[in-house]
Structure 1
Amino acid sequence: MGHVDLLVWGISIAVICGFFFFDFYSHVKHAHVPSMREAGFWSIFYIVIAVLFMVGLGFFWNWDQAGDFITGYATEKALSVDNLFVFLLMMTSFQVPKIAQQKVLLIGIAIALVLRTVFIIAGAWVLESWAWVFYIFGAWLLFMAVRQFIDSFDDSDPEMPGWVAHLRKFIRTSEHYNDDKWTVVENGKKLFTPLFLVIVALGMTDLLFALDSIPAIFGITQEPYLVFMANAFALLGLRQLYFLLDGLLSRLVYLDLGLAFILGFIGVKLVFHALHVNEVPFINGGEPVMWVPEIPTWFSLIFIFGTLVIATFASIIYAKGREEGRAQLQQEIDADEAEDGSVEAEVAGSGSGSVQAAGDAAGTDAPAADAVGTDVDGAGTAAEPGAKADAAAEDERREEFGPYVQRDFDEDRRRP
């Protein structure tokens, strides 16, 4: 396949399968909820393995191919992080127990890699046979970039894909989970648990995600081996990344916007490449458009990594400002409530003292009681302008910090 011997393909696939088996028997077989330390260590481990693979490509093949691999890997990794939002939604919707989530993710990811491999082989064959397909891939990525850009400004809750609900009609499952087991016996019948349904849903969902990720990486390199290895390494650490970023995903508010620019860039790159190898009769008479530049690997690498860095730091700055605004608003609200409480206590104390004095003098001086009522009413009337001023000031603070706080509250509500 491509420029790589079948022996190298076989060894590489065996190594990837070995990592999956290692992952299963060392972490997933004995069901547990991974700690942040465990998830962080293994996430870094698989990133280091990918970097070492890139170095190996540079020494044993060439550094251009190594650059293509690491660029494709970064793109696939970024798109995979975006996919975790939907994975999190599915886990929450299906109420998957924490202790079973590792098994669900690992098996779902393994299924996704198998399905992606089919896509990669088919895509490589199609592109090698018909160069004009690059136009279709480029146009598709530009369309996806525009849709991603629009969706990045949508603060509504993500929705479960409609086809997931229809799976229940075809896959009969029990109503309850059986720890992390696949089956359960109910009324003498052996049924799948909802765990099986979730695994199928995750695998199919990732297949849909491949409709933009596979064309994207073909825009970086057309070597099937590099496309496969970049996808494999990106998916290998996805399970650990899920637990590491659980609860932090809502902070990456500009990731979608960054991915929109990346998809748009790769779409343009694909169109440029299509023009450079043009065979379409009605474009330049079927001849290649040689004045169109081929975007070099080093520029793609800088653009993609730079976009991800900017999106990440912008998200961090936004989250920091949101938290500071929320804290400041809460402090001022607490101070206002404390001040209002002291005013009410002072008014109540003054009123009760006047009433007591009026009671003592009730037998001899009845008009004093009327005077007390007048004093209390006067105090209440005098307090009204101050309360209105406090309310107006609070409204101004809410208007200033409201965007930070409201979005934070919405994300807290969506977080399981």
Structure 2
Amino acid sequence: MNHEIMFFGGFLLFIALMLAIDLGLFSKGDKPVSLKTASIMSAIWVLLALGFYWIIRHFGHELHNIHDFEHLQQVIKTHLHDVKVIPGSLEASIDAYNKNLALEFITGYVVEYALSVDNIFVMVLLFTSFGIPERYYHKVLVWGILGAVIMRFIFIFLGAALITKFGWILYVFGAFLVFTGVKMFLQRNQEEEIDPQNHPIVKFASKYFKVTPKLDQGNFFHVENGVKYMTPLFLVLLVIEFTDLVFAVDSIPAIFSVTKDPYIVFFSNIFAILGLRSMFFLLINVIHKFQYLKVGLAFLLIFIGAKMLLHSWLAAVGFTTTHSLIVIVSILAISIIASLIFPKKEDKLTSE
């Protein structure tokens, strides 16, 4: 356990350092983030995730301090890893374990990163509905993502504890994801609208706190005659945190379909979440062009949910994490390519 805490603590320190650098590059005053800056930081976060994949691939066994057959088999059994121990060769067995662990990490990362795109759709809609100027977007997202990291930490390790104690909960997660995927597919063409005045979070805040429509130069609170008021910037931050809480209900069970190791779930989740802010600024002006992406995400959730429901049967027929990664990447690639080949009618008219 001490070894796991040290590994986990080192990861958190590294993420804190990179996040500080990220915020330093992004938060130079209240001004819109350029496409160049967003592209650079998006590339850096992806490269960091790939670098962490390499670390897990070669040193993943150090996470649980595995140095003998008995401990290796115990970890494989506890976290239901798709690994076959090679009798007589601890080194080869550990290598197989590390390879599978790294594959679980990168698959979970791809799943979470893909589902984060749907979060971007909602954030764009929120900023527009609340009338937030673009120069304040980054400030809200800074605090929004920091809050998301804390919530994900709680959700992931709570979810892992539930799965360990109640194995049947995987079937509940699976059914819920299939339901969510089908619902997303059926509602794919519905225009989403947000009414700031009637949003539950806004109503709650207005009932118990003083609220002002003044932006107050991008501050979260406005003081007038000695009275502190919440500004629209703080309200939209609260709504974003609430929205991420809703998205976490989908995305966290989705990653548990890939791996049951809570540390790998957390690592893959956090890399994707921290890269979300730069991806938001990268895609904000083109996200509407990917009209089939929601369809792809719907099928992605249905596939992941079905995998959780049928995991025993799939394991029996030899369906591995590698196969899952191929299916997931294929679904996303097809939805993106279809969006580029068959653009919306208004996009066609604009290009002509």
Instruction: Specify the TM-score bucket, using the shorter chain as the normaliser.
Output: 0.7 to 0.9
* Structure 2: runs of 5+ lacking an equivalent: 61-97
1:118 deviates by 0.6
What is the CA distance between 1:321 and its match in structure 2?
7.1
> Structure 2: which amino acid aligns with 1:156?
E
Residue of structure 1 in register with 2:120 after alignment: 84
- Unaligned ranges ≥5, structure 1: 277-288, 329-416
Tell me, yes or no, if structure 1 residue 10 matches structure 2 residue 46.
Answer: no
What's 1:257 paired with? 295
CA contact (8 A) 1:177 1:194 kept: yes
Could you state the TM-score of these two structures normalised by the residue count of structure 1? 0.71
Q: For 1:35-114, what aligned pairs fall within 5 Å after superposition?
A: 35-61=34-60, 62-114=98-150
Q: What is the aligned-residue identity percentage? A: 37
Out of 127, 135, 149, the residue aligned to residue 171 of structure 2 is 135
Task: Provide closer, same or farther for how the CA distance between residues 291 and 32 of structure 1 changes in structure 2, counting only shifts above 3 A.
Answer: closer
* Secondary structure at the counterpart of residue 340 of structure 2: helix
Amino acid of the residue matched to residue 200 of structure 2?
W
Give the structure 1 partner of residue 329 of structure 2: 305
With over 3 angstroms needed to count, the CA separation of the structure-2 counterparts of 1:171 and 1:78, relative to structure 1, is farther
The CA distance in 1 between the partners of 2:249 and 2:344, in whole Å, is: 35
| Deviation, structure 1 residue 325 | 5.3
- The reply to whether residue 216 of structure 1 matches residue 251 of structure 2 is no
Which of these residues, 145, 164, 186, is aligned with residue 181 of structure 2? Answer: 145
Distance between the aligned counterparts of 1:6 and 1:291, measured in 2?
A: 31
Please name the residue that 2:343 is paired with.
319
Give 3-state SS (helix, strand or coil) of 1:213's partner: helix
Q: What is the deviation of 1:44? A: 1.0
Q: Decide whether aligned partners of structure 1 residues 305 and 178 sit closer, same or farther in structure 2, where only a CA change above 3 A counts.
A: same
- 3-state SS of 1:179 partner: helix
The answer as to whether partners of 1:272 and 1:294 remain within 8 angstroms in 2 is no
Q: Which residue of 2 aligns with 1:272?
A: 310
Query: Which deviations, in whole Å up to 9, do the C-alpha atoms of 1:90-110 show, x marking residues without a partner?
Result: 111111122211010111111
Paired with 1:86 and 1:321, the residues of 2 have a C-alpha distance of: 22
1:292: Cα distance to partner? 4.5
Q: TM-score, normalised by structure 2?
A: 0.83
**C-alpha distance in 2 between matches for 1:51 and 1:326:** 37
Higher relative contact order (CA 8 A, sep 6+): 2
Rg (Cα) greater in structure: 1
How far apart, CA to CA, are the structure 1 residues paired with 2:318 and 2:181?
Answer: 20
Q: How much does 1:326 deviate? A: 5.9
Q: Give the alignment of 1:382-393 within 5 angstroms.
A: none
Mapped contact 2:291–2:344 kept (Cα < 8 A): no
Deviations 1:114-145 (A, max 9, x none): 11111101100010111111110111111111
8 Å contact kept, 1:47–1:237: yes
CA RMSD of superposed structures (Å): 2.2
Shift of 1:87: 0.6
How far apart, CA to CA, are the structure 2 residues paired with 1:290 and 1:240? 36
Deviations 1:386-408 (A, max 9, x none): xxxxxxxxxxxxxxxxxxxxxxx
The answer to whether the 8 Å contact 1:68/1:297 transfers is: yes
Q: Which residue of 1 aligns with 2:69?
A: none
Correspondences of 1:367-382 after superposition (within 5 Å): none
Alpha-carbon distance in 2 for matches of 1:223, 1:170 = 40
Alignment size in residue pairs = 312
Distance 2:176 2:348 in 1: 41
* CA displacement 1:298-321 (0-9 Å, x = unmatched): 101111111111110100111287
Note the C-alpha offset of 1:170: 2.9
Letter in 2 for 1:185: V
3-state SS of 1:5 partner: helix
| Pairing 1:28–2:66 present | no
Aligned pair in 2 of structure 1 residues 323, 175: CA closer, same or farther (>3 Å)?
A: closer
CA gap of 1:325–1:201, structure 2 versus 1, over 3 A, is closer
Which position in structure 1 is the counterpart of 2:242?
Answer: 204
Distance 1:174 1:291, change over 3 A: closer
2:102 partner letter: A
Q: Deviations over 1:20-74 (max 9, x none)?
A: 2222333225322111111111111101111111111111121111111111101
Q: d(CA) in 1 for partners of 2:222 and 2:199? A: 27
